[in-house]
Structure 1
Amino acid sequence: MSSNTTDHGFFSKERITAKPGFNRWMIPPAALAVHLCIGQAYAFSVFNNPMTRLIGIDKSAPGDWSLATLGWIFSLAITFLGLSAAFAGKWLEDVGPRKAMFAAACCFGGGFMLGALGIAWHQLWLVYLGYGVIGGMGLGIGYVSPVSTLIKWFPDRRGMATGMAIMGFGGGAFIASPLSVALMQHFRSPTSMGVAQTFVVLGILYFISMNIGALAIRIPAPDWKPDGWTPPVKQNALISRNHVHIDQAMKTPQFWLVWWALCLNVTGGIGVIGQASVMIQESFKGHITPAAAAGFVGLLSLANMLGRFFWSSASDYIGRKNTYYIFLALGALLFFLVPGVGAAGNVALFVLFYIIIISMYGGGFSTVPAYLADLFGTRYVGGIHGRLLTAWAAGGIFGPVLVNYIRQYQVAHGVPPAAAYTDTMYIMAVLLIIGFICNYFVRPVSQHHHMTSEQLSFDQQPAMAAK
């Protein structure tokens, strides 16, 4: 049982329940204050080359870290993002978004600090633990915190709402990429690459910003609806008015079909994002400078951000399933065409294709919470979404591992670096075709999985008692 102190505490759901007349458009900026910070993960590739020269400075020296081992920092962060989101989704429904956002700020900011120590002491395991594990937990908790809140505030535009929430995560690198490069240049010296100092500055900035979002977040009162809005009488068969319990959702084929569709879409996109800076420099050796490569990372981040809002908003009109058809079919085609474009030396088309691919990668994330709300109802969408993000954790391993280790194997066997990504892109295309097939088999959730009115009433009793 909850005490009155707990019920009315600073982090309690009662404390952040909005009063009548609250403007729901105040919530997206609170969500962006968190997601723009944790979106820094997509700019992590700008640290990869400098971190291979921490000892040698001008070039890699014996004892410096290899690109393949550094790739595991990003993979660990995404893995723990998915795992912590699976845990935090249900916890979030119990404690509310303010406490979850504060926990995320502590983990993400603290992860940077521990990672900075690992870099300063040249202990890679500390960087794995700091940014990868603890920082990754901050990513996951921070990621799910605003999503279910925004879905509840915008029942009339679920896709647009999740696009607003998740847009910031895609766009975080647009700020973090040039900022990180500028900070490393500022702190660089004859004996330091400036990476550790950059980690410290970013950790402090992100901790402050994420806590501003935690202070501003509010949740709607039970059964709140926008003024003048009523649920449509006639709607898409895939959009359910019933609710499925979080544990029951995992027993449905729909959960696992969407899981695989997201996982395979993630595998393709995240493999590119994790090595974007290095990949474009090697694909166009001598033509792309590190600064231009950072610009490419920034462009991908912008595409990621805008794609999240565009595609999820479009899904309100064309449907979530049709939107996923586009992601997986068009993505497969572009991955198949990219190697030829790179071989032809067409930088503009190469960049354009990846911009489209990453826009759909981001769109997959922003559309999937609304897809889940359509299939399983809104009561447990935060928890179900958190558990589905284990697909992101899996894709966060598959994608970078495919890109990094296939490249390393091919280069070791005499393949020029510019051609080392070709086979990987073809594999990505095949994976997206498999995802397309999974999406095809998604059907409305069977009635026997739905919660009854008695179950819903009983389920809401603890929350009502707490008030």
Structure 2
Amino acid sequence: MRFIPRLKPGIPPKETPMTADPVATNSTGAERRPYREVTDARGRVYRIGETDRDILGHSRNLMVYLPWVAMMAISVFEYAYGSAEDTLSHAHGWTQSNTFWILSIWVFFQAGIAFPAGWLREKGILTARRAMYTGAAMCLVGFLALSHLHNVWLAILGFGVIGGLGAGLVYATCINMVGKWFPERRGARTGFVNGGFAYGSLPFIFIFNYAFDTANYHRVLDLIGVYVMVVVLVSAFFFKDPPKNWWPAEIDPLTHAGDSRTGTALAKNPPAVKQFTPKEAIRTGMLPLMWISIVMTAGVSIFGISFQVDFAKDVGFGPLVAASSMGVMAVINGVGRGVVGWLSDRLGRKPTLVCVIVVLGLAQFGVIWAGDVKSEWLFLFFAFLSGFGGGAFYPLFAALTPDYFGENYNATNYGLVYSGKLVSGLFGGGLGSMVVGAWGYNGAYALAGGISMLAAAIALLLRQPGRAGTGAKVGAVQAQTAA
């Protein structure tokens, strides 16, 4: 196979000779084929020649299904917690504010570990497998703390800090794994894996609403902790990153020839013009905009997750509607992530993102309306919309980050973007409870809707660095790097 580069007039094709990796075997011990590097007109390097089977010994599709399974396992932390709060409060003698702050601290550390974990991975200090093993053990500690520690500060340390760090290690590793292995068509696959982080919690939502009480909470929480640890450990055993700059052997990185579906996805979401380091990505101005947008959008999403069941009960809806609304939110939240990932491959990442954030904002006002008219069906419908918008933006940001800044530093770049969730976790959960206390549920939901609309306006400003509208900034970044 030989690619014929289509470069600008006067710019000759640049290729390195065929060479072999220093470790020329795959995970099964078989010999790996040589590779070569092709440089496009903008200077981006693509490593071609090796298939996924050459590197892994099996199809790269396994790097979709295993992260998906692990993400379903850890989803119980965030999406089922709200259904367990009443029982936890009675069992441990905690106030409602205590339980909200435990979740807020969990969100803070779950999001906060993404950047340092990415940095350690890209420095070669922490492998993907080791990150997953560490995360699995910390997840178990989190549930044991929630089960056996009555002191709220110790529970915050065990579940909020240690459990949050563990879940964050698993989450960040799984999302980055998919982005690295599918650089040519990452939207649908990233959305599929990310969706597991929501609907994987569905069985536990109903367990916590119907089979979880002060008589059995120790046993239930301990078993859940063991379940999470075992699933993550088994999934992690097969985790492996591709080499730097790797590109699928069957797709020409210069002309995108080889697969009509890939050609459409790359036309709507062209590859990054270069591999941006975190400092370079920040200097373009786009990464800070993405961070601000995810702070606001994730805050609205976390607010809905934290308060939907309580709002349903406050309005007078029965426990079935309250549990069903959270179940609907979790399922649609997860399925919606896969759907919008698929759509973004065909319609473009940015327009899909803006639409999703607008839907999330409108859903907040719809929940107020449903509560005012006491309509259970309307409430479930807007819970559906809120669940869709409240989860679908995560895989879009996860795919947009390597689209804009490349795959080589994606663990740290996306870690920076995703770190916005640690801020939103504070005002979405803990500060959200203060707003509910001061303004009531209607005032809090109205504020959430307004914040979401502002986030959509900010997302409209996003542009891929190096292409229309941002070329000057990238040129400045490249000049500083060369200097």
| TM-score (normalised: structure 2) | 0.80
2:463 alignment partner, one of 423, 443, 464: 443
Shift of 1:157: 1.2
* Matches for 1:115-154 after TM superposition, within 5 Å: 115-118=146-149, 122-154=150-182
Q: Among all aligned residue pairs of Structure 1 and Structure 2, give the percentage whose two residues are the same amino acid.
A: 22
Amino acid at match of 1:382: A
1:110 alignment partner, one of 134, 141, 151: 141
Change (3 A) 1:76 1:110: same
Find the residue that maps to 1:230 and give its secondary structure. coil
Alpha carbons 2:139, 2:167 under 8 Å: kept: yes
- Indicate yes or no: 2:318 matched with 1:288: yes
Alpha carbons 1:369, 1:381 under 8 Å: kept: no
Change (3 A) 1:181 1:423: closer
Shift of 1:183: 5.2
Shift of 1:230: 2.2
Q: Give, in whole Å, the separation in 2 of the partners of 1:182 and 1:145.
A: 33
- Indicate yes or no: 2:354 matched with 1:329: no
Amino acid at match of 1:102: Y
Gaps of 5+ in 2: 1-24, 28-51, 256-265, 466-472
**Greater length-normalized contact order (CA 8 Å, ≥ 6 residues apart):** 1
Amino acid at match of 1:125: W
Shift of 1:338: 2.4
| TM-score (normalised: structure 1) | 0.82
Q: Give, in whole Å, the separation in 2 of the partners of 1:37 and 1:421.
A: 31
Alpha carbons 1:173, 1:297 under 8 Å: kept: no
2:81 alignment partner, one of 41, 44, 51: 44
Find the residue that maps to 2:283 and give its secondary structure. coil
Gaps of 5+ in 1: 1-7, 11-16, 56-63, 411-419, 456-467
Q: Give, in whole Å, the separation in 2 of the partners of 1:423 and 1:199.
A: 34
* Matches for 1:266-281 after TM superposition, within 5 Å: 266-281=298-313
1:91 alignment partner, one of 106, 120, 124: 120
Q: Give, in whole Å, the separation in 1 of the partners of 2:144 and 2:459.
A: 41
Alpha carbons 2:283, 2:477 under 8 Å: kept: no
Shift of 1:239: 4.4
Q: Give, in whole Å, the separation in 2 of the partners of 1:208 and 1:288.
A: 35
Alpha carbons 1:107, 1:138 under 8 Å: kept: yes
Q: In the alignment, which residue of structure 1 is the partner of 2:346?
A: 317
* Matches for 1:419-438 after TM superposition, within 5 Å: 420-438=440-458
- Indicate yes or no: 2:407 matched with 1:378: yes
Find the residue that maps to 2:359 and give its secondary structure. helix
Alpha carbons 1:68, 1:404 under 8 Å: kept: yes
Alpha carbons 2:190, 2:399 under 8 Å: kept: yes
2:335 alignment partner, one of 303, 306, 324: 306
Q: In the alignment, which residue of structure 1 is the partner of 2:228?
A: 206
Q: Give, in whole Å, the separation in 1 of the partners of 2:210 and 2:137.
A: 25
Q: Give, in whole Å, the separation in 2 of the partners of 1:359 and 1:316.
A: 18
Shift of 1:91: 1.6
Q: After the TM superposition, which of the residue ranges 93-102 and 192-201 deviates more from structure 2?
A: 192-201
Q: In the alignment, which residue of structure 2 is the partner of 1:58?
A: none
Shift of 1:329: 2.2
Alpha carbons 1:101, 1:211 under 8 Å: kept: yes
Q: Which has the larger share of helix?
A: 1
Shift of 1:240: 2.1
* Matches for 1:43-82 after TM superposition, within 5 Å: 43-54=80-91, 64-82=93-111
Q: Give, in whole Å, the separation in 2 of the partners of 1:237 and 1:389.
A: 20
- Indicate yes or no: 2:418 matched with 1:395: no
1:242 alignment partner, one of 274, 290, 298: 274
1:251 alignment partner, one of 283, 291, 296: 283
Amino acid at match of 2:277: H
Deviations 1:370-396 (A, max 9, x none): 111111111111111112111111111
Find the residue that maps to 1:155 and give its secondary structure. coil
Shift of 1:218: 3.0
Deviations 1:117-159 (A, max 9, x none): 21xxx21111111110100001211111022221122122111
Q: Give, in whole Å, the separation in 1 of the partners of 2:156 and 2:455.
A: 30
Alpha carbons 1:34, 1:101 under 8 Å: kept: no
Find the residue that maps to 1:145 and give its secondary structure. helix
Q: In the alignment, which residue of structure 1 is the partner of 2:250?
A: 228
Find the residue that maps to 1:361 and give its secondary structure. helix
Amino acid at match of 2:454: I
Change (3 A) 1:164 1:237: closer
Q: Give, in whole Å, the separation in 1 of the partners of 2:102 and 2:401.
A: 30
Deviations 1:324-380 (A, max 9, x none): 210222322232232122111121122111211221221111111111111111111
1:166 alignment partner, one of 194, 204, 208: 194
Alpha carbons 1:245, 1:451 under 8 Å: kept: no
Amino acid at match of 1:111: G
Q: In the alignment, which residue of structure 2 is the partner of 1:264?
A: 296
Alpha carbons 1:183, 1:198 under 8 Å: kept: no
1:35 alignment partner, one of 52, 62, 71: 71
Shift of 1:206: 0.7
Amino acid at match of 2:233: N
Q: Give, in whole Å, the separation in 2 of the partners of 1:361 and 1:79.
A: 17
Change (3 A) 1:365 1:396: same
Q: Give, in whole Å, the separation in 2 of the partners of 1:30 and 1:194.
A: 31
Change (3 A) 1:281 1:382: same
Deviations 1:227-248 (A, max 9, x none): 5222364845874231110232
Count of matched residue pairs: 413
Alpha carbons 2:357, 2:393 under 8 Å: kept: no
Alpha carbons 2:291, 2:416 under 8 Å: kept: no
Q: After the TM superposition, which of the residue ranges 256-265 and 86-95 deviates more from structure 2?
A: 86-95
Find the residue that maps to 1:146 and give its secondary structure. helix
Q: Give, in whole Å, the separation in 2 of the partners of 1:221 and 1:54.
A: 50
